[in-house]
Amino acid sequence: IDISVKSTGGNATNGHQYGFLHEDINNSGDGGLYAELIRNRAFQISERFPATLDGWHSVNDAKLSLKTLSEPLSDVLVTSLNVASPKEQGQVGFQNDGYWGIDVKARRKYTGSFWVKGTYSGQFTASLQSNITGQTFGSVKVKSQSTPDKWTEHSFELTPSRDAPNSNNTFAITFDASGAKEGSLDFNLISLFPPTFKGRKNGMRVDIAEALEQLHPTLFRIPGGNMLEGLTNRTWWDWKNTLGPLKDRPAFTGVWGYQQTNGLGLLEYLEFAEDLGMEIVLGVYDGLSLNGDITPKDQLQFFIDDALDQIEFIRGPASSKWGSVRASLGHPEPWKLEYVEIGNEDWLAGAPKGWDTFKEYRFPLFLEAINKAYPDIQVISSGSVYDGYDIPAPGAGDYHVYAEPDTLVAEFSKFDNVKQPHIIGEMAAIHPNGGSGWDGPQQPFPWWGGAVGEAVSLIGYERNADRIIGAAYAPIIRNMNRWQWAITAIQFTADKVTRSTSWYIWELMAAHPLTETLPATSQFGPLYYVAGKNDKTGGHIFKAAVYNSTDGADVPVKLSFESVEQGTAAELTILTGPKDPYGSNDPFTGVNVVKTSKKTIRSDKTGSFQFSLPNLSIAVLDTSPP
Ligand code: AHR
């Protein structure tokens, strides 16, 4: 295939084509990206989930029970753990399972705290131990300051002296029964953090955050997804509940079958975006919840005002009402916020009434109010033109695609003639070819053929990068111990993180950003491609995928850029997969089926780069200097 690329005449891109959606699904927030190690740390209650002793066990026959004291730790943490000793002497206490184990490493500094109420003279012992052998890997004594009249916080640092051989470990707190004169003590908000990504307090788990950072993401869609909408219009994700000291954060009624702590809140999301250099795509609740609850027009102003408050919190000056709250939480400088999305998938949830009211009044009212206050914000509808909405200017659309790879390939030119800007707010290959439909079973893991299908659609989006704001992989991470959505770019357990086949494709595509597309010969299938340049590096870039070539043969490519001289060096990276297109990376063994080949090639005397691409491969050629 001969491809000539012109030197001008393309479109400027916005520079942030790749990213991901994060919401707490698959325990990807609590027990995942959010580094807290203690499960059910504050016995929280929400509309759907009662307080429980889930994750907690007695040490030395102490009697554990949940109490609602007349003076709780806070207005929102009203249940606490009462630990009663069956004997008058000796160590008693309680221990926590962590989120399916705890990763314990020597010389790693764990930072913990817990609140106590009750008379106790003596010391607490906080320790990390094996569940199997009982071996202690590290422990620390914490002097009691506890009194019966008020809750007192105890803080400590614990540095194990040896590595645990596996993650089947527990965190325990014990005390000397003889020092607890009333026979029992009350505990709450028992927390333990390993070192976090970039050392942020209440921050992110390092290995997961690094796997995300290595994707070179520049787009971060938060906080959902279904999580934004909540199960009912009493339990939507209220950002105000996620700010400030942990003791003042009520639980969130998780929409994916588990209680959420609200520990991973708006500020933590914003700090993470800052740490990774990501543009935020902020979803604001728009009065539609997953059960179909719809806020009528005459009551919608409350949520419009709430969205404006949230925007002010993020980007208002420190002198503004909500900007000053942000400043009081340690971030006086406003964040950048250019993208605000109204609701999530209103075309799907509560349809058709939800979608009708979205078009009739909910989207127009949010669009008008937000752009009146912030004309530079790109307001995004939670559906696309393909959902039957001719989105009013200056709004943008959001297209979500969870599909078979064949569908993703067939959609290569889907946005060529769409005028309205769109974000691809959620995408992934999730169904095998021919075996799907929205409700069909997902593949057990992302697979190579699916990843190549994603690449074809991504290339199609990049060709339209003047109108496609960017594409977000969704959902992005999965805890292998409890999940409801199999296909994610990253999988993890308490001590292991693995990257899927899709991770490698998204990484390569994002590692070579185009600032401008360039017109090129159009002859697509089985080779799909986009060409452009990067003004910052001065490089000319070509990204391609081969999907279903005739008889599976290699595809020869002769590529010339009008403005690239003969003898120019380029780095050519080619990703190929296993023979079986359904081959996956295995999160249990860590086996990676993706092969990466990198070499430097030069344009020949006709000024062309010549190379061959195997069937089911993706490739990037980049002339940027190394
Ligand atoms: O990404 C998983 C879910 O899929 C999202 O929460 C929702 O928006 C979509 O239906």
Q: Which ipTM was obtained for this model?
A: 0.99
Residue indicated by tokens 């914003």: 270
Give the domain CATH number at 615.
2.60.40.1180
Q: Are residues 177 and 76 in the same domain?
A: yes
Give the domain CATH number at 264.
3.20.20.80
β 279-284/219-222 pair status? parallel
How far does residue 225's CA lie from ligand 1's centre (Å)?
Answer: 5
For 501, the 3-state DSSP assignment is: helix
For 407, the 3-state DSSP assignment is: helix
Type of residue at 70: S
Domain-embedded: residue 132: yes
How far does residue 236's CA lie from ligand 1's centre (Å)?
Answer: 15
What's the domain range around 578? 2-12+517-622
CA–CA dist 43, 190 (Å, integer): 10
Domain-embedded: residue 587: yes
Q: Are residues 152 and 238 in the same domain?
A: no
Q: Are residues 297 and 187 in the same domain?
A: no
Pocket test for ligand 1, best of 20, 25, 387, 476 (most atoms within 8 A of CB): 25
pLDDT score at 438: 44
Identify the residue whose C-alpha is closest to ligand 1 atom 8.
225
Separation of first and last alpha carbons in the chain: 27
Report whether 362 contacts 288 (CB < 8 A): yes
User: Any bridge partners for residue 426, and if so which?
Assistant: 400
Q: pLDDT digits over 248-269, tens only?
A: 999 999 999 999 999 999 999 9
- Tokens matching residue 32: 């995942």
How far does residue 421's CA lie from ligand 1's centre (Å)?
Answer: 21
DSSP H or E segment with residue 429: strand 422-429
Intervals of the chain under pLDDT 50 = 437-439
pTM of the complete model beyond 0.90: yes
How far does residue 37's CA lie from ligand 1's centre (Å)?
Answer: 26
DSSP H or E segment with residue 461: helix 448-463
Q: Is the peptide bond before 625 cis (omega within 30 degrees of 0)?
A: no
Atom of ligand 1 nearest to the CA of 474: 1
How far does residue 311's CA lie from ligand 1's centre (Å)?
Answer: 23
How far does residue 75's CA lie from ligand 1's centre (Å)?
Answer: 32
Q: Are residues 386 and 523 in the same domain?
A: no
Atom of ligand 1 nearest to the CA of 475: 1
Domain-terminating residue out of 341, 362, 395: 395
How far does residue 226's CA lie from ligand 1's centre (Å)?
Answer: 6
User: In angstroms, what CA-CA distances link 157 with 93, 258, 460?
Assistant: 19, 29, 51
Q: Are residues 65 and 156 in the same domain?
A: yes
Q: Are residues 232 and 332 in the same domain?
A: yes
Atom of ligand 1 nearest to the CA of 348: 10
Identify the residue whose C-alpha is closest to ligand 1 atom 2.
475
Pocket test for ligand 1, best of 24, 25, 221, 226 (most atoms within 8 A of CB): 226
Instruction: Write the DSSP assignment of 305-359 as a string of letters.
Output: HHHHHHHHHHHS-TTSHHHHHHHHTT--SPPP--EEEESS-TTTTTTTHHHHHII
Question: Of the candidates 66, 64, 63, 93, which has an alpha carbon nearest to the alpha carbon of residue 77?
Answer: 66
> What are the φ and ψ backbone dihedral angles of 266, each rounded to 5 degrees?
-60, -45
Pocket test for ligand 1, best of 387, 400, 430 (most atoms within 8 A of CB): 400
Give the domain CATH number at 134.
2.60.120.260
Domain-embedded: residue 41: no
Number of other residues whose CB lies within 10 A of the CB of residue 382: 29
Domain-terminating residue out of 376, 395, 414: 395
Strand order from edge to edge, sheet including 608-613: 2-5, 555-561, 608-613
Type of residue at 131: N
Question: Of the candidates 626, 592, 602, 397, which has an alpha carbon nearest to the alpha carbon of residue 501?
Answer: 592
Atom of ligand 1 nearest to the CA of 226: 6
Domain-embedded: residue 407: no
Atom of ligand 1 nearest to the CA of 425: 8
Atom of ligand 1 nearest to the CA of 426: 1
Domain-embedded: residue 178: yes
How far does residue 277's CA lie from ligand 1's centre (Å)?
Answer: 24
How far does residue 281's CA lie from ligand 1's centre (Å)?
Answer: 15
Domain-embedded: residue 521: yes
Question: Of the candidates 570, 572, 559, 556, which has an alpha carbon nearest to the alpha carbon of residue 615?
Answer: 556
pLDDT score at 436: 54
Domain-terminating residue out of 193, 214, 249: 193
How far does residue 24's CA lie from ligand 1's centre (Å)?
Answer: 11
Domain-embedded: residue 456: no
How far does residue 391's CA lie from ligand 1's centre (Å)?
Answer: 21
β 152-158/219-222 pair status? unpaired
How far does residue 401's CA lie from ligand 1's centre (Å)?
Answer: 10
Identify the residue whose C-alpha is closest to ligand 1 atom 3.
225
pLDDT score at 54: 98
Report whether 26 contacts 476 (CB < 8 A): no
User: Any bridge partners for residue 184, and if so which?
Assistant: 84
CA–CA dist 508, 236 (Å, integer): 36
For the chain, the domain total comes to: 3
Pocket test for ligand 1, best of 27, 255, 289, 344 (most atoms within 8 A of CB): 344
Identify the residue whose C-alpha is closest to ligand 1 atom 1.
475
Question: Of the candidates 179, 145, 191, 178, which has an alpha carbon nearest to the alpha carbon of residue 43?
Answer: 191
Identify the residue whose C-alpha is closest to ligand 1 atom 4.
225
Domain-embedded: residue 317: yes
Q: Are residues 251 and 334 in the same domain?
A: yes
Q: Which residues contact 182 (CB under 8 A, 6 or more apart)?
A: 118, 119, 148
Pocket test for ligand 1, best of 290, 402, 483 (most atoms within 8 A of CB): 402
Q: Are residues 230 and 89 in the same domain?
A: no
Q: Which class for 123: exposed (0-12), middle (13-18), buried (19 or more C-beta within 10 A)?
A: middle
pLDDT score at 15: 86
Residue indicated by tokens 């607890």: 180
User: To 10 degrees, what angle do helices 206-213 and 266-276 make?
Assistant: 50
Number of other residues whose CB lies within 10 A of the CB of residue 222: 25
Type of residue at 443: Q
Q: Are residues 175 and 229 in the same domain?
A: no
Q: Are residues 171 and 249 in the same domain?
A: no
pLDDT score at 352: 76
Q: Are residues 381 and 331 in the same domain?
A: yes
Type of residue at 557: V
β 169-176/279-284 pair status? unpaired
Q: pLDDT digits over 304-352, tens only?
A: 999 999 999 999 999 999 999 999 999 999 999 999 999 999 998 766 7
Ligand 1 first shell, C-beta below 6 A: 23, 25, 224-226, 344-345, 426, 474-475, 485
Question: Of the candidates 606, 589, 626, 615, which has an alpha carbon nearest to the alpha carbon of residue 3?
Answer: 606
Q: Which class for 322: exposed (0-12), middle (13-18), buried (19 or more C-beta within 10 A)?
A: middle
Q: Are residues 272 and 382 in the same domain?
A: yes
User: In angstroms, what CA-CA distances link 473 with 97, 225, 273, 477?
Assistant: 31, 12, 16, 10
Type of residue at 5: V
